[in-house]
Amino acid sequence: MKNSADERSFLPPERVERFRQDPFARRMGFELVEAGPGYARVAVDLTEDLFNFAGTPHGGLLFSLADYAFAVASNSHGRVSLATHVSVQFLAAAEAGERLYAEAKESHLTRRAGFYDMTVTTETGRVVARCLGVVHRTGRLLDGGPADGEKI
């Protein structure tokens, strides 16, 4: 399988640190737990200020957590990748004090597109949300240069 635990440890440390410094993820309290080629696992501790008026975790929070994992996984190859489509299914609620995890796994990768499955779960493994996402892989590297001799 492409995303073996051995492969996950081979991202350049400076790339992982760049992902960890994402301003929005930091503001939301998201933690990058694990990252590798085409893979990411992130977490957040649910506090009451992340809940909506109905007393459940805000859907935007769940989506944002999955989106952060998606961004890390899709940009892990070093090429700037931009989401073009994401669908989300909210399946269950979680409680204040629980820790949520979002995991993104690459399911298919081409020169110009990437396809990802994301799952948001509680610490006990209960599925809270599922997402499918597609990215456009640009001709630009994360460091700003062109990828593979391509024009930007």
CATH 3.10.129.10 applies to domain 5-141: yes
| CB neighbour class for 113 (10 Å; exposed up to 12, middle 13-18, buried from 19) | middle
Residue whose C-alpha is closest to residue 120's, from 55, 68, 56, 50: 68
pLDDT tens digit string along 16-62? 999 999 999 999 999 999 999 999 999 999 999 999 999 999 999 99
pTM: 0.90
- What is the residue extent of each domain of the chain? 5-141
Q: Is 70 exceeded by the pLDDT of residue 67?
A: yes
d(CA 46, CA 26): 14
